[in-house]
Amino acid sequence: MSTLNRVFLMGNLTRDPEVRYTPSGTAVGDLGLAINENYKNKAGETVESTVFVDVEVWARQAETCVEYLFKGSPVFVEGRLKLDQWTNQQGEKRSKLRVRADRVQFLGAPRRGAETADAPQGSMPPPADFEAPAADEDNIPF
């Protein structure tokens, strides 16, 4: 029988992303994601339910998340479920289900740089060494 382990989630970060590095130098990022759902119960009342999910991001994508995301940032996460199991200091077995992200898509405006906050969606700021040409009134087309 075939199997499939694929997760698609869209929500907001519950905290600023954190990054740590493995002994070999690979970045590992931790994201907390809140996913809200509104529905009506049998009495016709609107009920809001929130699911909290821990997301693990690796390599350059982890560093990019720490650089550009912050608490409250909307993101779309594509990945797979992963079960972490360990034994605590008291000898009790513990486990935690989390998402191992293959892709994190940023849905909001970037955090860093005043020039990017004022820029239209989808545009990039000019490079730091960019120098705008001097205005020449003779070359204006109107």
> Please, which pLDDT band fits residue 108 given cuts at 50, 70 and 90?
confident
pLDDT digits (tens, 9 = 90+) for 9-25: 999 999 999 999 999 99
pLDDT digits (tens, 9 = 90+) for 62-85: 999 999 999 999 999 999 999 999
What CATH number was assigned to the domain covering residues 7-112? 2.40.50.140
Predicted local distance difference test score (pLDDT) of residue 138:
52
Q: With CA atoms as reference, report the closest residue to 15 among 2, 40, 34, 37.
A: 34
**Six token digits for residue 18:** 């954190």
Burial of 132 (0-12, 13-18, 19+ CB in 10 A): exposed
Cα 44 from Cα 98, distance rounded (Å) = 33
Cα 36 from Cα 34, distance rounded (Å) = 6
Q: Is the alpha carbon torsion for 130, 107, 33, 5 positive or negative? A: negative
Domain-wise residue ranges, the chain: 7-112
Share of the chain above pLDDT 90, in %: 70
Amino acid at residue number 30:
D
Q: With CA atoms as reference, report the closest residue to 77 among 117, 109, 32.
A: 32
pLDDT of 29 > 70? The answer is yes
Cα 79 from Cα 57, distance rounded (Å) = 9
> Please, which pLDDT band fits residue 122 given cuts at 50, 70 and 90?
very low
Place of tokens 């002994």: 23
